[in-house]
Structure 1
Amino acid sequence: MKKWIVILLAVAIIGGGAFVYSTRSANAEPLEIGATAPDFTTSGALAGEEFQFSLSEKLKDGPVVLYFFPKVFTEGCTIEANMFAEATAEFNAAGATVIGMSGDDIEGLKKFSVSECRNKFAVARADDQIINGYQVRMAPGLAMTNRTSYVIDRQGKIVFVHSATKPHGHVAGTLEIVKALAKAD
């Protein structure tokens, strides 16, 4: 079955289509495949060092995996960050950049980028404008995101969405898509 999904995915991407797997959160509907990803600039952290992250600038280098997670140092978010860290070399080999997004403050993100992201990929601050733009608010009134992963192609279009409360599936799904995009280029 997995082989057929990969074949259908490759055909969809090469043919200009897109593929989505989504187990959507009851609290928010993520952006749709084909939508233009909202551009933003925000504070980020990589290996404990703060920097400014610009989506439009990073897309010049290739596709971006933008994954939203609820809270640093919680069990599910730690598991997910560790899985993304383990797969960072594969994402890089496919020409993609991974960046985790959370409503946490920059000091917490700096620590998380070292310990849980293992200095392999960046995490950045999702403010209200970003949370609303990507439709990932955990619940009304909370500055927390749900767990949603997007793959954004070089043209700034969303080509994959995975929204699920469990951390498993986010890395595998986004990695398959970026590998298929690399083959299509």
Structure 2
Amino acid sequence: MPDLAVGDPAPAFSLPATGGRTASTEALKGKPFVVYFYPKADTPGCTTEACGFNEALAQFKGLGIDVIGISKDSLPALEKFAAKYNLAFPLASDPDNAVAQAYGAWGEKVFMGRRSVGLIRSTFLIDKDGKVAKAWKKVKVEGHAAEVLAAAKALG
């Protein structure tokens, strides 16, 4: 599993996303963006995280920064989740976890004392040159969007 560090090039991806969109690094070339990986749509932590990013979306957009959420959920599940919470940014489906693996957001984790392999809640701020400007691993959702926004503002 790769461990992306600041300065590393962001792995390329192109995934189907909510609203009939495609989330891709190609479409974001030359502009900064946030990509975050979450375990499962419409679960408490993932809902808190998604709503946090949605509430801060106008501020991210004001900085010229797009936000993309990625999980292994199917597109219909993601559409339902996005509609339920009026999420305005794309949620992309990564059913085989290939993109999560490329970003190092897939691997062994411990939850309530049990080890398993799965999606590791992670967020990456990518600069306009397509390089990792900041990476958050094993994210705690409370206040996370605000923390990412502060780093985005510092990106300049």
Fold shared per TM-score above 0.5:
yes
Displaced runs of 4+ in structure 1, greater than 4 A? none
Matched, 1:101 2:75: no
Q: TM-score, normalised by structure 1?
A: 0.73
Structure 1 unaligned blocks of 5 or more: 1-27
Matched, 1:54 2:24: yes
CA contact (8 A) 2:2 2:103 kept: no
CA contact (8 A) 1:149 1:170 kept: no
Q: Greater helix percent: which structure?
A: 1
SS at match of 1:58: coil
Q: Which has the larger radius of gyration?
A: 1
CA contact (8 A) 2:21 2:90 kept: no
SS at match of 2:9: coil
SS at match of 2:79: helix
Amino acid corresponding to residue 162 of structure 1 in structure 2:
W
CA distance in 2, matches of 1:138, 1:106: 23
CA contact (8 A) 1:40 1:130 kept: yes
Residue 65 of structure 1 and its aligned partner are, at CA, apart by 0.4
Residue 59 of structure 1 and its aligned partner are, at CA, apart by 3.1
Matched, 1:39 2:12: yes
Residue 29 of structure 1 and its aligned partner are, at CA, apart by 7.0
Residue 125 of structure 1 and its aligned partner are, at CA, apart by 1.2
SS at match of 1:167: coil
Amino acid corresponding to residue 43 of structure 2 in structure 1:
T
Residue 164 of structure 1 and its aligned partner are, at CA, apart by 2.6
Q: CA RMSD in A?
A: 2.0
CA distance in 2, matches of 1:33, 1:169: 22
**How many residues were matched structurally?**
149
Could you tell which deviates more after superposition, 95-104 or 160-169? 160-169
CA distance in 2, matches of 1:41, 1:29: 19
CA distance in 2, matches of 1:30, 1:37: 11
Matched, 1:119 2:90: no
Alignment of 1:1-185 (within 5 A): 30-45=3-18, 49-60=19-30, 62-116=31-85, 118-126=86-94, 127-139=96-108, 144-181=118-155, 184=156
CA deviation profile, 1:87-145 (whole Å, cap 9, x unmatched): 000000011000111011111111112223x2321110123321210111154985x42
Q: Greater strand percent: which structure?
A: 2
Residue 178 of structure 1 and its aligned partner are, at CA, apart by 1.6
